[in-house]
Amino acid sequence: MRARLKLIQSPPAPRGDAFVGDDAELVQAFLRGDPGARDALYERHADHVHRVLYRILGFDRDLADLHHDVFVRALRSIAKIEDPRSLKGWLTMIAVHVAKSSITRRRRQRWLWFLPGDELPEVASSGPSGEVLDAMRATYAALEALPAEERIAFALRFIDDMELTEVAEACTTSLATVKRRLARAVARFEAEARRHPALEPWIEGGTRWANPSDR
């Protein structure tokens, strides 16, 4: 069984939408200008886009703005989508691009990725323990040391649990390239993670990353 980094909570379960039809029909309805198609597209895929951004960026104070940016870009270019049936995957690619741009921009400006402890959102009593929250912060601190493309591949593969083929599609690259990125990312992340005491239980307790060549 492959080891996974089970530290990150998922966003709320997806909401239903009133539109009846698959994604291909939804895209066509939007292009026709059908009333409600825009809202239905957002309602159907908003949680998925949030999940992708959250897995890559962690506690990010601009997450809502980036989420909005994904849909702005999508709605402006939806007429160019080659296969409307692949709407979800197409939105994933846009979300990855938006996240990568944010990573690059912030690194140029030398900003921090994760929120300080006193800026973390309040967590309900049924939420993760303080130990897990510390590990979450440490995880994204360690990921900060990775190049953007390696960080994204690592987050999608080991935090969001995507299959290798899905990671390659989301990153618009080949499977072989993704495997190489993951091999480098695993080595970098493990070296960085050992510098964070909050991650010791996961590392020393036997947590290991899957071989990037595993399917």
Q: Where are the domains of the chain?
A: 17-117, 127-215
Q: How sure is the predictor about 5, in pLDDT bands with cuts at 50, 70 and 90? A: low
The pLDDT of residue 13 is above 50: no
* Domain covering 127-215, topology: Arc Repressor Mutant, subunit A (1.10.10)
pLDDT tens-digit readout, 78-134: 999 999 999 999 999 999 999 999 888 776 654 343 444 444 344 344 445 577 788
Q: How remote is the C-alpha of 203 from its chain's centroid?
A: 22
The answer for residues whose C-beta is within 8 angstroms of residue 5's C-beta and 6 or more apart is 139, 158, 159, 202, 207, 209
Task: Please state the pTM of the whole predicted model.
Answer: 0.73
Separation of alpha carbons 196 and 212, rounded Å: 23
Percent pLDDT > 70 in the chain is: 75
Burial letters 3-20, b for 16+ CB under 10 A, else e: eebebbeeeeeeeebebe
Q: How sure is the predictor about 211, in pLDDT bands with cuts at 50, 70 and 90? A: low
Question: How much is the average pLDDT of 129-157?
Answer: 87
Report which of residues 165 and 59 the model is more confident about. 165
Yes or no: is domain 17-117 CATH 3.10.20.310? Answer: no
Collapsed DSSP state (helix, strand, coil) of residue 19: coil
pLDDT tens-digit readout, 57-88: 988 888 999 999 999 999 999 999 999 999 99
Collapsed DSSP state (helix, strand, coil) of residue 114: coil
Q: Do domains 17-117 and 127-215 have the same CATH topology?
A: no
